[in-house]
Structure 1
């Protein structure tokens, strides 16, 4: 009996062991089946949320054995190849415009180079060489003619024009517009509103889409440029010596004698600016006036005995002149622009030069815009509504 009991127990243990093994194997198989089903289900479920183009691309890869289609344009960024060169030189006739025209042209040319995946360079030598006063900051944009060796090239002038490829926000047409290895282009407008219609923009240069154009210019300028050591020292010394600085930029159409929308010899309109600066001076502000008019400068010198000034003659940078006046005048233009960008109070007239300085000046306490009948408070973000013409604002 004892022996039989042992045999019975042994058989029973073997039976349970076999059952355990069978159960374990079944569980393993079941787990594998569930995992495979889950993976297939997950793949099917996620494919429903892919964009239609990407979904078609995925389906084509799975079903085709001969050739693969091009991937979705939004997911592939091609390598940088070729050059877009902003051009303002004496080799080509026609205007480049003043300071704001050139800066707007450089900015727009740069964005086009990004859209086309090109290297970007600057050749700005009309009246003065830009690199004598502003040097590259985060990357080298200086043009060197050696890039033309063995490459095709051409020049196009879009001064005060908008290329049809930008009007149609068509990247293919933009490529056809600039088909060469090196494309020189002259522009003077800010095409931000046009650029924002290009579907590749968020992937390539998102800040053009996301920022207000005052901050777009701030970002662009600080990325590209820094003043030379000499200019930087002059500006720093000028600003640091003054506790508070109230500034005005007064641009006059000398031929038409227009300031803002009226004749600049309209005493009442100019008095709006002078009266504000007198209040500032009484509050211990130092006074600085930048202008393209000798008459305005003489008036300012009469009214403010301690008026701060940058040495050098008044210069129209799009009109070539000779002699030492060109160097001193060019240096004066750049220095005054950078000083205006650091003023505590800034008074503006209808001018891209002053508007751009205000865009750079994100620490000023007060900005005022001269209108036809009044001098009103404004800001970096509202200037363009007071001066809506094509003065460094999107067109």
Structure 2
């Protein structure tokens, strides 16, 4: 028994030793495992962060690419190319704006014939001014569609983005595309807001969205009414008289004769109460303006400036920019008239569309003055512009 006791003690000591060694090894392994796991996790975290940064960078790059790939549809009237009179151009501007909406592109206006339009008209709720630097290096295409009636019917089914993949599409037109684009099933969603509206409603709405007076023109406009109609109870009677070919616009076609204009004078003579009525006349003829001034001297109003047709300038015009100012100002004055007579011309008829009042409207055509109902006057346009 004395022999067994030392052996047992030895076994216990050895066992404890191996237990201590085993524990030390376990602890070391655990620490290594935890450290390795921690390093591995950190590596995963770092890799994830790098991927996120990379993905963010890719997103930023894509956004940059999208910005670089912004596409444009621009109403274009520059140089010597014919664009039509101001009334025609207004229809063209509306048409190109609708094209931009259907194509999901940014809309712009560049008019420098006969003068930079932005001198007198500024963007209102839609920014149509485009810096030329934005367009530098972009692929472009020019469409000269002035008087292009055959093109209109194609818009009822055309895929415009496929037809015109270029980054910048410059369009010159004086035609109404509203009815054709509205019939194109491809653009039903884009033009849903316009589907139940008349062209007259769309014209007035878009003109208001696009344009406001520059400070210069607004000041002249306000001054005109302040000086000429100081009393708020005055009734403003207006006549837009288009003669056509005459010394002021020798390049135009004949519209009315001077003898026809006598019917306009007879019409205006009904408003001879100087305490109640003011008479404003805008015309394409200096001779007509002078006659009106003599006939209605105490009531007569007009804006100063040379008379021109913006697309058919005669030689010797001293200040084309001021002449454009007169055209723009005259049309907006027509929209404020209590009684309005217009000739068969886009300039005058567009004033009807922009005018808030629908009563007391008269039309001068083929030498005759007739009262018209605006609701019945314009619906026939759909047959014309399809």
TM-score range, shorter chain: 0.7 to 0.9
Equivalent position of 1:233 in the other structure: 219
Pick aligned residue for 2:177 from 180, 191, 194: 191
Instruction: Using the TM superposition, give the Cα deviation of residue 200 of structure 1 relative to its aligned residue in structure 2, in angstroms.
Output: 4.1
Asked whether 1:111 is paired with 2:101, we answer no
Aligned pairs for 1:1-395 within 5 A: 81-90=70-79, 93-162=80-149, 164=151, 166-167=153-154, 169-172=156-159, 174-240=160-226, 241-242=228-229, 243-254=234-245, 258-259=254-255, 263-265=256-258, 267=259, 269-282=260-273, 284-306=276-298, 307-320=300-313, 324-363=318-357, 365-372=359-366, 374-384=368-378, 394-395=385-386
The 1:131–1:210 alpha-carbon spacing in structure 2 relative to 1, beyond 3 Å, is same
How many Å separate the matches in 2 of 1:318 and 1:373? 25
Structure 1, unpaired ranges of 5+: 1-77
Q: CA RMSD in A?
A: 2.7
Instruction: Using the TM superposition, give the Cα deviation of residue 219 of structure 1 relative to its aligned residue in structure 2, in angstroms.
Output: 0.3
Structure 2, unpaired ranges of 5+: 1-65
SS class of match (2:271): helix
CA contact (8 A) 2:240 2:283 kept: yes
How many Å separate the matches in 1 of 2:137 and 2:143? 20
How many Å separate the matches in 2 of 1:286 and 1:193? 38
Instruction: Using the TM superposition, give the Cα deviation of residue 323 of structure 1 relative to its aligned residue in structure 2, in angstroms.
Output: 6.5
Instruction: Using the TM superposition, give the Cα deviation of residue 362 of structure 1 relative to its aligned residue in structure 2, in angstroms.
Output: 1.6
The 1:319–1:210 alpha-carbon spacing in structure 2 relative to 1, beyond 3 Å, is same
- TM normalised by structure 1 equals 0.71
- Bigger radius of gyration, 1 or 2? 2
CA contact (8 A) 1:127 1:318 kept: yes
CA contact (8 A) 1:100 1:352 kept: yes
How many Å separate the matches in 1 of 2:90 and 2:328? 12
CA contact (8 A) 2:238 2:279 kept: yes
Instruction: Using the TM superposition, give the Cα deviation of residue 339 of structure 1 relative to its aligned residue in structure 2, in angstroms.
Output: 0.4
SS class of match (2:142): strand
Instruction: Using the TM superposition, give the Cα deviation of residue 324 of structure 1 relative to its aligned residue in structure 2, in angstroms.
Output: 4.3
